[in-house]
């Protein structure tokens, strides 16, 4: 019964759409109300997304953190659904990576920036697993058999922006001199006006949102 339900394209479409909605609203609403430690507004040019969930700084931190938890809970069955529908071993790797991605996203909400070490661990799990998920699913889409197409092979290109953003972010994190927990916790005095790491993080956010929506529309 559960397996049949997960293999229904409508399950993916509903769960993916709900997950995206929770993530977008859970980020947009706190961003509009955000005022930093020095009274500054939140800017994607130099603020990490996670700063929206910093308790005691972000006025609506609970909205952001709850939004991520709910989004993760929705994207977990969405990822399982797509991995079960899409044929091939690579798709099953995507299924596993998607499950880890959704759990990582949820735990970013469970552990906000105030709990920096578990927060950074959850965030890095999301980034690494997210890259593996989109890459695996994109390859699986491109390598579909012509007689069992779930959706056109051109949809493999939908994952390219997210893949590039994930890979660029992880590459720069690997080159950083400090641990992930320190790199994701900026000091106000050292915050540049334009900062590539938060920009890439926001690119990941919009890239993964767009990927889920494009796939949902394609099924």
pLDDT digits 0-9 by tens, 32-46: 999 988 888 999 999
CB atoms within 10 A of CB 153: 12
pLDDT at 205: 98
Q: What is the dihedral of CA 46, 49, 55, 56, to 10 degrees?
A: 20
- Residues 95-114, mean pLDDT to the nearest whole number: 97
- CA end-to-end span of the chain: 21
Overall average pLDDT of the 64-75 stretch: 98
Q: How many residues belong to the chain?
A: 219
Domain ranges of the chain: 2-218
Q: What values do phi and psi take at 14, rounded to 5?
A: -70, -45
pLDDT of residue 199: 96
Contact 171, 131 (CB under 8 A): no
Taking only the tens place, the pLDDT of each residue in 8-18 is 999 999 999 99
- Answer for the pair 48, 184: CB distance below 8 angstroms, yes or no: yes
User: What mean pLDDT is predicted for residues 69-80?
Assistant: 98
- Which is more confidently placed, 147 or 19? 19
């Amino acid at each position: 019964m559960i397996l049949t339900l997960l293999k229904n394209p409508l399950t993916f479409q509903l769960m993916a759409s709900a997950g995206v909605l929770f993530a977008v609203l859970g980020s947009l609403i706190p961003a509009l109300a955000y005022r930093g430690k020095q009274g500054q507004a939140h800017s994607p040019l130099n603020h990490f997304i996670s700063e929206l969930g910093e308790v005691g700084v972000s006025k609506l931190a609970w909205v952001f953190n709850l939004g991520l938890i709910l989004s993760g809970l929705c994207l977990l069955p969405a990822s399982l659904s797509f991995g079960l529908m899409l044929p091939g071993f690579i798709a099953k790797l995507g299924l596993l990576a998607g499950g880890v991605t959704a759990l990582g996203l949820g735990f970013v909400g469970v552990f906000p920036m105030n709990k920096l070490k578990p927060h950074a661990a959850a965030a890095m799990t999301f980034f690494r697993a997210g890259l593996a998920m989109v890459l695996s699913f994109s390859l699986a889409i491109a390598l579909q058999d012509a007689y069992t197409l779930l959706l056109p092979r051109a949809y493999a290109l939908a994952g390219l922006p997210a893949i590039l953003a994930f890979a660029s972010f992880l590459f720069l994190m690997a080159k950083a001199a400090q641990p992930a927990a320190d790199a994701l916790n900026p000091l106000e005095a050292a915050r540049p006006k334009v900062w590539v790491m938060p920009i890439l993080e926001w690119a990941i956010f919009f890239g993964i949102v767009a990927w889920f929506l494009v796939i949902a529309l394609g099924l």
